[in-house]
């Protein structure tokens, strides 16, 4: 087994932390389904489509990222994918915040679900 360099150990630790964060983020969907269903007025059957959409997104993302890793340096592909994920999550957070502000400033706060 070849001796690992400090750079290789740092890269391994960073990948471990990234995959841990990604896994924790993906694991949040299951416990959040009842709350999401209540917030959107959907049934559990309707809101569970999110699992299918996430699985399809994972498959398509794996195909795309595999082809990109074959053509470009892997570290840069992973960094670009993480950056895109960060931008998407920030956009989602801003969208939710904007929707809440619009809902509360519209005078219809009596219809908001409890705890929202």
**C-alpha to C-alpha distance for 102 and 100, rounded to whole angstroms:** 5
Instruction: Kindly state whether residue 50 falls inside one of the protein's structural domains.
Output: yes
Model confidence, pTM:
0.61
Question: What residue has token string 């840069």?
Answer: 76
Instruction: Kindly state whether residue 31 falls inside one of the protein's structural domains.
Output: yes
pLDDT digits (tens, 9 = 90+) for 77-116: 888 988 988 898 889 889 888 988 888 887 554 455 555 5
- Find how far residue 42's CA is from the centre of its chain: 21
pLDDT digits (tens, 9 = 90+) for 3-17: 689 988 888 898 898
Print the domain residue range for 49.
7-106
Position 67 confidence tier, pLDDT thresholds 50, 70, 90:
very high
Instruction: Kindly state whether residue 114 falls inside one of the protein's structural domains.
Output: no
Report the domain count for the chain: 1
Question: What does pLDDT average to over the chain?
Answer: 83
What pLDDT was estimated at residue 107? 52
Instruction: Kindly state whether residue 58 falls inside one of the protein's structural domains.
Output: yes
């Amino acid at each position: 087994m070849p001796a690992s360099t400090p750079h290789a150990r740092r890269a391994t630790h960073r990948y471990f932390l990234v995959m841990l964060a990604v896994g924790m983020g993906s694991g949040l969907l299951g416990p959040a389904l009842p709350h999401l269903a209540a917030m959107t007025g959907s049934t559990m059957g309707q809101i569970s489509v999110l699992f299918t959409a996430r699985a399809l997104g994972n498959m398509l993302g794996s195909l795309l990222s595999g082809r990109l890793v074959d053509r470009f340096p892997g570290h840069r592909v992973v960094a670009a994918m993480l950056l895109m994920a960060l931008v998407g999550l920030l956009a989602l957070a801003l969208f939710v915040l904007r929707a809440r502000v619009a809902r509360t400033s519209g005078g219809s706060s009596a219809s908001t679900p409890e705890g929202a």
